[in-house]
Amino acid sequence: MKLLTPSLRRSWKVYDWILLALLLSAGVWTSRVALSEMWRIGMGREEQSYILLAPLISAWLFWLRRSRLPSMRVEFNLVGPSIVFIGWLLNYFGLQRDIEIASHTGAMLVLLGCVMSMTGIGIVRKFSPAILALFFLIPIPGSIRQLIAIPLQDIATNVTQIVLELIGVPAFRVGQVLVINNEPVAVGEACSGLRMILAFGVVVYAFAFSMPLRTSTRIVLLGISPLVAVICNVVRLIPTSVFFGYGSVDQAQVFHDLAGWVMIPIALVILVGILRLIRWLELPVMAFRLAMR
């Protein structure tokens, strides 16, 4: 236990920041293959585009807690190097065995360990929401995405068909395809809602940790976010299906893309409404201030 005790705890000097920058540079260079792959996946796979939000959300949550920085001290320790070593092993193992989640997780642990080598666990205690947000950079493996996407496709197709028939639009289902006005509309494959759920989950995480909410309230918001995202996706699918069935493909595609951007702010409005409902029920919502002073 004594080995894990910081050997030095003092205020930051200029050369400490230089050393931290050198450590992070070495960490980035060591993990460059995995990091570049994560960026490529975020840029190239539509359902994984939420990855690009992670650095922005992390920076935002860090900025909200910036008043905690003066209490941070230099703490040289063995915890950080241990995490670097574990991360390097994971990264190496993942690259050798072509296991993406291992190499990606290892890369993030290497960077975290580089910072903790000079700050100890204090950085985790004070900025844990911002640090956890960076782990959204890790792409979800394809096998897990399929487990989520297939049920979502069934839900999207079934509910859209039911609602269309209720409002008087004839539609019948063939697998994951709805036939409207003799036009096949692949709502299940094109709009399963996976992309919206993942992106919305990241946004809700930022929303929940941007406010001094109770832990129970944050859990409720994070837990209900997939359901809200599915509801918003079905709301988008109904007019989109009508456009595909009775309009031109180009018009339908434009509407589909624009509606996707609109759904996230609408979903956030729904979450704010849920918070107001909890307050109206006189249940505790807020817990503490965001930043220590």
Sheet holding 183-185, edge to edge: 172-174, 177-180, 183-185
Statement: residue 7 has pLDDT above 80 = no
**How far apart are alpha carbons 200 and 205 in whole angstroms?**
8
Statement: residue 148 has pLDDT above 80 = no
**How far apart are alpha carbons 95 and 93 in whole angstroms?**
6
**How far apart are alpha carbons 24 and 22 in whole angstroms?**
5
User: Containing H/E element for 10?
Assistant: strand 8-10
Average pLDDT in the chain:
82
Q: Which residues contact 181 (CB under 8 A, 6 or more apart)?
A: 170, 245, 246
| Helix/strand/coil for 174 | strand
**How far apart are alpha carbons 180 and 171 in whole angstroms?**
5
Statement: residue 190 has pLDDT above 70 = no
**How far apart are alpha carbons 165 and 133 in whole angstroms?**
42
**How far apart are alpha carbons 121 and 73 in whole angstroms?**
11
User: Containing H/E element for 183?
Assistant: strand 183-185
- Rg of the chain on CA atoms, in Å: 23
More confident residue, 262 or 100: 100
Statement: residue 238 has pLDDT above 70 = yes
Task: Give the pLDDT band of residue 191 (cuts 50, 70, 90).
Answer: low
**How far apart are alpha carbons 150 and 56 in whole angstroms?**
30
Exposure string for 79-89, b = 16+ CB within 10 A, e = fewer: bbeebbeebbe
Statement: residue 293 has pLDDT above 70 = no
Helix ranges (H only) for the chain are: 14-30, 32-44, 53-64, 79-97, 100-119, 122-134, 142-166, 187-190, 194-209, 215-246, 249-280
Instruction: Express each pLDDT in 76-120 by its tens digit.
Output: 888 999 999 999 999 999 999 889 999 999 999 999 999 999 998
